[in-house]
Amino acid sequence: MMRLAQLALVMASTLTIAPPSLIVAALQEQQQSMTVEQISDKITSLQNEYDNYTQTVQRLKDEAEQLEQKLASLRDRNQTLEKQRQTALQEMNNRYQQLVDDPTIDIAGAQQAYKEAVMAHQQNKKDIGTQIQLVEEKQQEVEEGRVSRHALLNEIESLKDQRKVARVERLEREFNQTGELEVSQSIVCDREETLSQCETRGKLLAKQKASKQYLDQIVSNLSEAEQARSNLEQVSPNVQILGSKTVSNGFSGQGNYGVKIAVELRGQLPRRQACQLLEVDARYCVVENADQRSATQTSANVGASNDAVMHPLTLRSNVYDDEVLIDGVSYGSTPIEIMLPRGDHRVEVRKYGYSSYSDVIRLNDAQSIRAELEKSDYSFTRGEKVQDILFRDVRGPELVVVPSGNYKMGDLTGNGLPNERPVQTVTIEAPFGISDTEVTVGKFRDFVNDTAYVTQAEKNGNCANLVNGMPKMDGTLNWRNPGFQQTENSPVVCISYEDVKAYTDWLSDKSGFDYDIPSEQQWEYASRAGTETDFWWGNDVGVNNANCRHCGSEWSNDRSAPVAQFERNPWGLFDTVGNVWEWARTEEGQVVRGGAWNFAPSLARVSTRMELPANFSSNYIGFRVVRAQ
């Protein structure tokens, strides 16, 4: 029992809770020079031992149970033997009474029976005592096994803690290493800058490239690269430039400057960030000599210039297709993440038609900026791409700007229907944006998710499908299930004119601009794109130029195609011919234009029009939208 008490005392002492800094210090002392792999091997070995202990304890418990069962059997037998002894004693007493009346009676048999009963009872009592001792000893073995197993488990968990500290220190060693990279950079000198300024800018961009490449190289070579990379964006470690030397450089006759430099770099990963990268508790990154570590890192940076340490800067904005300038240098459009030297930087985000974002930031660590650009009054430019932010990261349909102008509307070739005549000259007085594709399932889903809107087909079961060439209402069809396979990038169908109005009203509300269904004049003007033929490429539909019945595409007469599978027209619109009919508004009501995947090519001509009621929907009718400037 003394051994059991000592083991229990050891367990109690190992489970004492210590402050985080003391925990890490103790684990480091225990760990000594053990590597992560060695600790893992030891954990595996102890885990096997623990599993063996578990089996041993179970075996001991089974043996103890068998001993207890035998003890219970002996106690049951003791009662039987006691009854037998009482019976033999009674028989012997009866014989003695008979002997008084008749001295010739033999009582030796009764005496022997009684003697044997007493001896059996006494032996059984001895067996019970022995069995009790065996049960107690076996139970003690069980308890010792249990305690030993718990102590072993505690050691395993302690080693797991040690392994986490070792992982952190390994990551620090692997990250905070020095290396050299040789990079090349070419730039075009601006007209406003001197050759010296151009040279300085080229070398700075080369250092930025080296910093980014070195950071990528370090992360790729980490022992736990995949784990670290998944958390890199939340941590954003730094790279320090220790020195650089120019290998070669020069200017070309066209004002281009090229430079190749060798850069000496060192990764900088504070211990707290190591814990974040590995997704372990921060307590494994708290050390008692943190002040000393900080002083060491500070002294290592003494004499380093501001551009010796590079920090990541992340830029996002609320607009699409903007331009980012940092210290006067263009870095493309948001979102971007670049490495910049420590210190002050002028950041500008601009886009035509919006007020610019401009600020001077002081970069001392990883930093993230979201630039909010406000809309301003401006005029559309022909061919300009427009895409409005609706909310959060949800964008509206991508639009292409169509210029103002005049055109001839209607049956110009004499191949049309009576409702396409007479030909009229129409004036489009102002530029407008029109979605370059039909509105997709994904874009319509954004609307439904935000408003919980239910289409008429879903409510009334009135989406039509062509059966033997005739539209037949099918209550199972709707925009989610049009009766054929579609993707998020397929044109949304089973949408009535009234559904489209609800969608454009939502776009207007979310964007702050005036969205609508195209007028019939706008639709034909944008679809013709300056041409006067039945199709924007000519008077014959050709083969695989569009998705319509017998038009030779893989989707023809089968289902709608994902948008933008065919060439744009000269003004940048996709699928103005075929795929799905598109709603347009008229002064009298509404029509559909452009033909569909299951309609003949002659009905996909640019001037073809079909009048339909506003509440009609089918799996071959979709829509696109327009936006005023």
Beta bridge partners of 330: 325
∠ at Cα 435 (549, 389), nearest 5°?
140
* Inter-residue contact 530 to 602 (CB < 8 Å): no
Q: Which fold has domain 385-628?
A: paralog of FGE (formylglycine-generating enzyme) (3.90.1580)
Q: What digits encode the pLDDT tens for the residues 346-400?
A: 898 887 667 788 888 988 888 889 998 887 655 566 677 888 888 877 889 999 9
Strand partners, 265: 179, 241
Helix or strand or coil: residue 211? Answer: helix
CA distances from 611 to 392, 475, 583 (A): 38, 23, 10
Q: Are 346 and 327 in contact (CB under 8 A)?
A: yes
Per-residue confidence (pLDDT) for residue 282, from 0 to 100: 81
Token reading at 268: 């900088």
What's the pTM value of the predicted model, to 2 decimals? 0.47
| Pick from 2-6, 114-118, 481-485, 570-574: least confident | 2-6
Q: How many residues would you count in the chain?
A: 629
When computed from its CA atoms, the radius of gyration of the chain, rounded to whole angstroms, is 44
Using 50, 70 and 90 to split pLDDT, how confident is the model at 212? confident
**Residue 500 contacts residue 443 (beta carbons within 8 Å):** no
150-201: pLDDT as tens digits: 667 677 877 887 898 899 999 999 999 999 999 998 888 877 778 888 888 8
State pLDDT tens for residues 445-502: 999 999 999 999 999 999 999 887 788 899 999 999 999 999 999 999 999 999 999 9
Tokens representing 252 are: 């070309």
309-378: CATH architecture: Sandwich (2.60)
